[in-house]
Chain A
Amino acid sequence: MNPTKKKYNAISNRMVKTIILLVLIAIAQYTVLSGQGFSNRIILTDVISTLIFTITFTSIIYIIQQYYHSKEVLNVPNMSTIVLFSFLTILWSHLATSAFAETTNAYNDFYNMTFTLKSILIVLVYIICHLIFWIDQQKVQEVRIQKFAIEKEKEANRIEMNSLQQQFKPHFLFNSLNSINALTVVNPQEAQKMVHLLSEFMRGAINVNPSELVSLEKEIHHIKLYTDIEKVRFGSRLEVNYDLTEDISNFKVPTLILQPIIENAVKYGLYDNTDDVIISIQVKKQQHSIKISVSNPFDPTTQSASKGTGYGLQSIEKKMLILYNQSNLLNTKREDNTFTTILEIPQR
Chain B
Amino acid sequence: MALRAQPGPVETFVQSVVSGVLTGSLYAMIGVGLTVVFGVMRIINLAHGELVMLGMYGAFWAHALWKLDPFLSIALWVPLMFLGGMFVYRFLLRPIIPGGELNTLLYTAGLSLLIANLALFAWTGDYRTIKLPYAITPLRPFGIAVPIPLAIAFALAIVITAALYLFLSRTDPGRAIRATSQNPEAAALMGIDVERISMLTFGLGSALAGAAGVLLAPSLYLYPTVGEILIAKCFVIVVLGGLGSVSGAIAGGVLLGLVESLGAVYVSVAYKDTIGFIMFLLVLLFRPSRLFGVGKS
Partners in one complex: no
- Please report A residues at the B interface, Cβ cutoff 8 Å: none
- Please report B residues at the A interface, Cβ cutoff 8 Å: none
